[in-house]
Structure 1
Amino acid sequence: MAEYDHDDERAVELGTLQAIYPELVPGDCDSYSATLELLVTPVTPLPVTFEAGTLQAIYPELPGDNGLHEFHHLPYLPPLRLDITLPAAYPADAPPIVRVSTSPSWLPEDTRRTLTDEATSLWAAGEGATILFDYIVSLQEQACNAFGLAALTLPSPMRTELVTYSRRMEKELFDSETFECGVCLEWKKGSACYRMGRCSHVFCITCLQDYYTNCISEGDVNNVKCMSIECGKTARKGKKKDRLLSPKELLQIPLPHDQVDRYARIKRKKRIESDPNIVFCPRTWCQGAMRTDKYPKIEDLSQMDDCDSDAEDEGQAQQHGTHAESGPEKRGIGVRGMERLQICEDCNLAFCVVCLASWHGDLIRCQPRDTTQLTQEDQASLNFIMKNTSPCPYCSVPCQKSHGCNHMTCAQCKTHFCYLCAAWLNPDHPYAHFNDPKNQNCFQRLMDGAEGDMAHGDVEFGGPRGGEQMAAFWEGEALRLQMQEIDLETQ
């Protein structure tokens, strides 16, 4: 501990500063010096680009790098270290000696020099008065504005240290606060809560784990999103689009790795199955999807920081007028030879997407598909689906209504459609379809079959299901007439 002459004006100023800033560390021995670290927490997170290759420009002897850049918004930066030494002539005849630094050296040299020179400028303007308190206050105010920096470009080796520091400080401050969980409405310490990465809504970890684990266990991955009713991406016409959580964020909550893996696989499977451009392996024991960069296979969950809803929204924006064209021939697949060739991502079979045979080359004509090779069990399942479900007009997934009106939303791709005729409905005005006299099969029939399919109601359908219904009717009529003829012959 330094020994000061309490009659010295320098000792009085340092003592006052230590009372205001308890974290101020006095210098050793008898020197009138001290060290103070000031937090740098900009009001607006500072954009920082970690530029690979910066060190090579300074030190050409270093090996080259891969040329990649990384961009981050940092709400906390390593503290500003202020080293103060008060010479014997201070404050009357000499300014204080100050040194401003950061570790690592993220502060630009010209900014550091400006901050250092400011102490001398304040002393000159004060005409021999003590200026350390005013100087420190000025540094704190400038730190809130990131010292006037609009953005920073730093060498990539600094990335790990700066990003780690920012996250650690953010967690420490968050853990020390108290929040009201948006689900159970209880007040809890931040250490027992989690702040959503995209929207900053706060919930307790227990509520998040219970809800997301239940959703994933039941396969309801479309509800693995922020639980706040205010959350969502504002789309056109003021509506909100839900954003699903990424596997990386679920691991941070944290959820068990096996649950997050199940979530990622189910979500990927749903996206693949709802994409009419995906063709599946013709091998009955495989049925894997064709290889595609659009849906990469799952490898490292901790790096999966994507938001699938954006891609899904973009795909659904093109739905109107394209639902009927779902087969490979109607999608334009096979127009050029190489587009016909696809490879199964599971068994690596090379096959033709037109005839679903093993790849036969560009110059060989596709043979007609054999659609009769169905087992008795498969045929029974297909018959039940055709008779008791209505297909989604976009992804063709069979949908069965348990109760309610005939305005349906596909659980797979969120397409709005009519359950009676399987027609696509405008999400903004879905009920106009049932009020249009031109739609004879559906006009004023919104609530027909409100008890659901399993109620065995006598509901008349249109579209593909109506065709199956009509075929079944005439098949029954033919059988009835046949039985009548047999009865007449036996009489």
Structure 2
Amino acid sequence: MAENNCFRIFKNGFMLQFSFNFVKLTPMTDNDSAQEDELLALGSIFDEGIVTIDQTAKEKNSLRSGCLTISPDIPNPPLKLICKYLKQSAETISENSENHITENVSYLPPICLRFILPQNYPSSGPPQYTLTSIWLDRLRLSLIANKLDSVWEEHQGQEILYTWVQIIKEDVLEFLNLDSEVSIRQADFIENSSAENLDQRVMQDIGRFSDILPAIQDYDNARQKEVFENTPFPCDICFSEKYGKNCVKFKGCGHIYCDSCLKSYFDVHIKDGNMKSLVCPEPGCESQALPFQIKNLVSEEDFKRYESILLQTTLDTMSDVMYCPRKFCQSPVLIEEDETMGMCAVCHYSFCTYCKLAYHGVEPCKLKLKKLTVICEQYQNGDDSIRKELEGKYGAKVLRETMENIESERWVAANSKPCPDCGAAIEKQSGCNKMTCYKCKCYFCWLCVHRLSKANPYTHFNTFNSKCYNKLFDGVDVDEEFMDVMYW
């Protein structure tokens, strides 16, 4: 505050007038200093995301204010969370008219405490505040507000914000009897939304009840990811320790390996076409790697190969999927149950699901299986008149395609054997008589087509009573040096 003082001096018959402005300097009060120290302490103790101070208050010479974003601690995670929705047809609110959805969460969204520090705080007056939450109804928030007020009454004259933070963070679940199970009822949100006896400083901070569970799940997933990325884990492959942001965690089993080791692991199996082998490297574990985990590690070219082979393998195991009979197409076709017609969506060819020829409606298949070989041999060995007659009866294109299919089936029958597990045709080009199915990875004996033990497939050839005893290399053309090494 400035005061204007004027002095008049008479000298040598002249009047000299001087004017001075005196400013009264008021020192910072004890309350002001305590508030400043408390906010500085909160900012140094907690992360920036928890404590937010309004920095413009000092510039505008207004009251200090800010926000405390406090996520309650869960003593023994995960915590059981039950959301109880009212049925659409329910006319009255009752337990019998609710649908329950149960989830397990490790982190709950924060409770926001927005505060303003009055000039008489902390000497005589408490902070002014509001409480908001997306998962607590107004009744529970009012109970928390009453608890904070009672704590202030006990500690009046002392800085209270840190104590309030600790209460919300460590004690609020036990105080609300939610430490073992959190039950959120839509009926409570409806009944407590406008009750007169509720604290006017509390507010439920979400528009629709149906948005509460997704909001909790999103927050829980984000926090779990954040904690995982900033925690070091040992890799059981290279035995080095790396942070979670440089690791992959398998969803089914929870085993963790570093990115560099898994990249090499994925690259080898994708190159070999073993899509079913992209599982957790832990011995005996069969948790599949998720597509996005594979995509984040391998090259774009390898991921396209992975998708292509995975799709092909999946289609081969589906009983309601066939391939278009046209060799230039071979696109997968979905066949409806009890239907005898297939329609290719790519080349628009309609075919019979039995004979794979052009669809012929209710008429029987023109070429019976027993006559296929005879007719094709007549067509192949006959003169022009016989060929012309057969072409007129069955169609030249049908006969040519049938001959190609028969030759293909003959070659497969002569050069392959069926897998005893999935029936896939397996060709043996080289190596010993212990075979591995390319489709289902089943081990079997090439000589007797017997399924072998997955743990030790060579027991079949080492057992004295086995009919394939000592025949691991039977029929294999190997040099003497290789045999000596193998027997050794």
- C-alpha separation between the residues in 1 aligned to 2:345 and 2:171? 55
Distance verdict in 2 for CA 1:397–1:124, change over 3 Å: same
- C-alpha separation between the residues in 2 aligned to 1:171 and 1:445? 56
2:309 match: 266
2:254 match: 200
TM-score of the two chains, using structure 1 as the length reference: 0.59
RMSD over aligned Cα, in angstroms? 4.9
SS in 1 for 2:67: strand
**Displacement, 1:352?**
2.1
Q: Is the 8 A contact 2:237 2:261 kept in 1?
A: yes
Larger strand share, 1 or 2: 2
Distance verdict in 2 for CA 1:409–1:109, change over 3 Å: farther
Q: Is the 8 A contact 1:275 1:395 kept in 2?
A: no
Q: Is the 8 A contact 2:248 2:293 kept in 1?
A: no
**Displacement, 1:19?**
5.2
User: Given the alignment of the two structures, is residue 109 of structure 1 paired with residue 109 of structure 2, yes or no?
Assistant: no
Q: 1:249 is matched with which residue: 264, 275, 293?
A: 293
Q: Is the 8 A contact 2:320 2:334 kept in 1?
A: no
- Which ranges of structure 1 fall in alignment gaps of 5 or more residues? 55-69, 233-241, 294-332, 437-441, 458-491
1:214 match: 268
Q: Is the 8 A contact 1:4 1:32 kept in 2?
A: no
User: Given the alignment of the two structures, is residue 100 of structure 1 paired with residue 131 of structure 2, yes or no?
Assistant: yes
Q: Is the 8 A contact 2:433 2:447 kept in 1?
A: no
Distance verdict in 2 for CA 1:164–1:276, change over 3 Å: closer
Deviations 1:284-327 (A, max 9, x none): 3333333159xxxxxxxxxxxxxxxxxxxxxxxxxxxxxxxxxx
In structure 2, give the amino acid aligned to 1:365.
P
Q: 1:187 is matched with which residue: 228, 241, 247?
A: 241
SS in 2 for 1:455: coil
Written as runs of structure 1 = structure 2, the 5 A alignment for 1:390-469 is 390-400=417-427, 403=431, 410-415=437-442, 417-422=444-449, 444-451=466-473, 454-455=476-477
**Displacement, 1:99?**
2.0
SS in 1 for 2:280: coil
- C-alpha separation between the residues in 1 aligned to 2:211 and 2:427? 56
Distance verdict in 2 for CA 1:26–1:121, change over 3 Å: same
Distance verdict in 2 for CA 1:209–1:364, change over 3 Å: same
Distance verdict in 2 for CA 1:7–1:345, change over 3 Å: closer
User: Given the alignment of the two structures, is residue 80 of structure 1 paired with residue 104 of structure 2, yes or no?
Assistant: no
Deviations 1:244-274 (A, max 9, x none): 32323323x2434443232122122123324
SS in 1 for 2:147: helix
TM-score of the two chains, using structure 2 as the length reference: 0.60
- C-alpha separation between the residues in 2 aligned to 1:425 and 1:227? 22
**Displacement, 1:169?**
4.6
> Rg larger in 1 or in 2?
2
Distance verdict in 2 for CA 1:443–1:21, change over 3 Å: closer
2:349 match: 349
User: Given the alignment of the two structures, is residue 227 of structure 1 paired with residue 271 of structure 2, yes or no?
Assistant: no
1:389 match: 416
- C-alpha separation between the residues in 2 aligned to 1:141 and 1:14? 21
- C-alpha separation between the residues in 1 aligned to 2:53 and 2:321? 70
Written as runs of structure 1 = structure 2, the 5 A alignment for 1:231-380 is 232=285, 242-251=286-295, 253-275=296-318, 278-291=321-334, 338-361=338-361, 363-367=362-366, 368-369=368-369, 370-371=372-373, 372=376
**Displacement, 1:412?**
1.0
SS in 2 for 1:226: coil
1:65 match: none
SS in 2 for 1:136: helix
**Displacement, 1:450?**
0.7
**Displacement, 1:353?**
1.8
Q: Is the 8 A contact 2:31 2:121 kept in 1?
A: no
Q: Is the 8 A contact 2:460 2:466 kept in 1?
A: no
Q: Is the 8 A contact 2:444 2:452 kept in 1?
A: yes
Count of matched residue pairs = 379
In structure 1, give the amino acid aligned to 2:129.
V
**Displacement, 1:135?**
2.7
- C-alpha separation between the residues in 1 aligned to 2:209 and 2:474? 63
Written as runs of structure 1 = structure 2, the 5 A alignment for 1:50-89 is 75-76=106-107, 78-86=109-117
